[in-house]
Amino acid sequence: MSGPHWMLRLRERLWGLPPWDAGRIGDEWFRAHFFHAADLVAQWLGGALRLPTARLLNFGCGDGITDLALVLRHGATAIHGVDIRREYAKLPRIAREQLGLARLPAALTFETIAPGAPLAGRHAGVDGIVSWSTFEHVARAQLPPILRDLHACLRPGGVFFLQIEPLFHSPWGSHLRRYDDVPWHHLLASEDELWQAMEAYQGELQPDEVDFGFADFGPEGYKRWVFSEYQALNRLTADELVDLAVRAGFTVRRQERRQVDLPIPEALLGRYPEELLRNNEILLLLGKD
């Protein structure tokens, strides 16, 4: 950072954003967020508000790559990212390495919060909220208060784009596919068996599934961390999510549920509805009247 935030804003107003080059991108996690995630967010939010003038909040922003792309590629000018971790602190370095970007745009601000900490007192009146692959990680008991708080953050007429993928009951809903490719294995095997399968895996990891936390943990530490994330999943279904959102005061303006077309193991057919087992993604546009 060079100088206070208002100076950065002024500098950008006068001379524009620092140059960047997507041709330098070598990391597949970065690419997936800089293009796929950001494009979907822009499509869904952009249909309901103007990104260049909207004040946005990203709940569970992670490393902030998607937010950076919303600014650089989709013209957003104000995004505040909140998260219980500080992965976003790596963004200046990541953006330098992957894009040759000298400094982050003034449009981006980030904040670490305690899980469930209310935001509406400090972030009321926002035009749009984004949450990408985050709500499946929030502790169940915190879901209703967090959704009510996010509803209170939005201005009337504002929208909230919420995405979850993979949903828990889908083939790789465990989020363990990096190590265990067997579809629905988490619904078929015990926790011990799952961990044994993870421990035994010594192959390469799919590059677009390896986030920038990998370097902090190392190969074995990353395995343990990914497994603990699996254990903490709230196992939310798409129906439950919609129900919770409506109870928090939102209206559903648009929704899409994506399905995986795979033969379902015999052992699961009687235990869960087929639709639940196939539904791996939900995209929701929630509104505040």
The contact set with ligand SAM (CB under 6 A) reads 33, 37, 59-63, 66, 82-85, 87, 115-116, 132-134, 137-138, 142
- Return the number of other C-beta atoms located less than 10 Å from residue 77's C-beta: 18
Closest separation between CB of residue 216 and ligand SAM, Å?
A: 13
In the bound state with ligand SAM, the residue whose beta carbon lies nearer, of 11 and 137, is 137
To the nearest whole angstrom, how small is the minimum distance from the Cβ of residue 247 to ligand SAM?
Answer: 18
Q: How far is the CB of 231 from ligand SAM (least distance, A)?
A: 14
Distance CA 174, CA 100 (A): 35
Q: Which residue is nearest to ligand SAM (CB)?
A: 62
Judged by CB, which is closer to ligand SAM: 135, or 250? 135
Distance between CA atoms of residues 211 and 192, nearest Å:
25
Q: What share of the chain is helix, strand, coil (3-state, %, to 5)?
A: 45, 15, 40
DSSP assignment letter at 205 = P
Instruction: Please report how close the Cβ of residue 10 comes to ligand SAM at its closest, in angstroms.
Output: 30
Residue partners of 136: CB distance under 8 A and separation at least 6: 164, 167, 168, 233, 234, 235, 236
Number of H helices, E strands in the chain: 12, 7
In angstroms, rounded to a whole number, what is the distance separating the alpha carbons of residues 117 and 139? 13
Q: Which is nearer to ligand SAM, 83 or 127 (CB)?
A: 83
Q: From CA 104, how far away is CA 196, in angstroms rounded?
A: 42
Least distance from C-beta 160 to ligand SAM, angstroms? 14
The nearest distance, CB 144 to ligand SAM, in angstroms, is 13
Q: Which residues contact 33 (CB under 8 A, 6 or more apart)?
A: 63, 65, 66, 69
Nearer to ligand SAM, 134 or 174 (CB): 134
* Smaller CB separation from ligand SAM, 62 or 183: 62
Rounded CA separation 73/67 (Å): 10
CB of 82 to ligand SAM, least distance (A): 6
From the number of C-beta atoms within 10 Å of its C-beta (0-12, 13-18, 19+), residue 250 rates as buried
Output 63 or 180, the one with its CB closest to ligand SAM: 63
Whether the Cβ atoms of residue 100 and residue 73 lie closer than 8 Å to each other: no
85 versus 247: smaller Cβ distance to ligand SAM: 85
